[in-house]
Chain A
Amino acid sequence: MRDRPGAGFLAFIVHRGTGIVLALFILPHLYILYFLGDPARYEAIRRFCSRPLARLSEAGLLGLVLAHGLNGIRIMLLEAGAPSRIQKTLFRAAVIAGLLLFFAGARLMMR
């Protein structure tokens, strides 16, 4: 049942995986924001979130968002009428833009 993974198939798998993780991420995110009503607890959580490992996972979150968002733009362009023959070019463009934005963003985050 193995298919040779084409660009579109790879994009689909990544889109689905990142999508599920990001959707589930809403829950802990809101849970942390719940402590906005308790400044001391909130600040404690925030201090925890500025530790190196937490920051690294924050960069990972940026990666997930970029992968999902850029491929989302690719899909929307194609569904809005961009010709199918450019789907692989768009995929490559999304990968390059994603990597550039990821390293630029991660640099800002890890400062």
Chain B
Amino acid sequence: MKNKNPRQKKLAAGWFLGRASGLLLVLLLAVHFTVIHFERGGQEKIPGRSAGFHGAVFLRLSHPLWWVFYAVFLSAALYHGFYGLRGIAAEYIRRERLLASIRAGLLAASIALWAAGMLILVNSQLLLANPPALCYKCHARGSIPSCRAIRFFGFGAINKK
């Protein structure tokens, strides 16, 4: 029997993706918080050494694995978040047409946010190829984040100039 009720399949796949993206987000957020938020405290004393620092973000983004990490993070967070909002809307909104337009709006918003996020990621690669002055300066100073967390997760920046 071949996919006789695609509607049912779509719902099952949507639900499964919701749960799978949730599980993925738990792991990604653990990495994200360790790198950005937990390490920062100790390094704030040395200016320009934090993982959230502009140069540090770029150095991470210059590594393909970090780039993929953020692309997956963005996609999973947006899917999970908007799948949830969509379900909540369906629960509380009784008027059929209002619900349909809110759902369409949510879908459009999630696509727009995904595009914006991907644009930032793509743009980062263009900027890395052609760094602006300040960014170049910190590269030149060689302030590669000495973040233990980044080293722990194995992939630091590779193409330092």
- Report which A residues bind B (CB closer than 8 A): 16, 19-20, 22-23, 26-27, 30, 33-34, 36-37, 39-40, 42-43, 46, 49-50, 58, 62, 65, 69, 72-73, 76, 79, 105, 108-111
Q: Is the CB of A72 within 8 A of B54?
A: no
Interface residues on chain B, number (Cβ under 8 Å)? 37
Question: How far is B124's CA from A76's CA once the two chains are assembled, in angstroms?
Answer: 36
Question: How far is B134's CA from A39's CA once the two chains are assembled, in angstroms?
Answer: 7
User: Which residues of A lie under 8 Å from residue B113 when comparing CB positions?
Assistant: 26-27, 30
Question: How far is B102's CA from A66's CA once the two chains are assembled, in angstroms?
Answer: 29
The minimal Cβ–Cβ distance linking A13 to chain B, given in whole angstroms, is 12
- Report which B residues bind A (CB closer than 8 A): 19, 22-23, 25-26, 29, 33, 37-42, 44, 52-54, 57-58, 77-78, 81-82, 84-85, 88, 113, 116-117, 120, 123-124, 127, 132-135
Q: Is the CB of B37 within 8 A of A69?
A: no
Q: Is the CB of B52 within 8 A of A37?
A: no
The minimal Cβ–Cβ distance linking A110 to chain B, given in whole angstroms, is 7
Dominant secondary structure at the A interface:
helix
Q: Is the CB of B19 within 8 A of A46?
A: no
Q: Is the CB of B37 within 8 A of A58?
A: yes
Output the nearest chain A residue to B48 by Cβ-Cβ distance. Answer: A43
Q: Is the CB of B81 within 8 A of A26?
A: yes
Q: Is the CB of A39 within 8 A of B132?
A: yes
User: Which residues of A lie under 8 Å from residue B23 when comparing CB positions?
Assistant: 72-73, 76
Output the nearest chain B residue to A111 by Cβ-Cβ distance. Answer: B41
Question: How far is B52's CA from A50's CA once the two chains are assembled, in angstroms?
Answer: 10
3 cross-chain pairs, A with B, having the tightest CB-CB distances, nearest first: A111-B41, A23-B81, A108-B38
Q: Is the CB of B120 within 8 A of A33?
A: yes
Question: How far is B44's CA from A111's CA once the two chains are assembled, in angstroms?
Answer: 9
- Can you list 6 pairs linking A and B with CB atoms under 8 Å apart? A20-B84, A22-B81, A62-B37, A65-B33, A108-B41, A111-B41
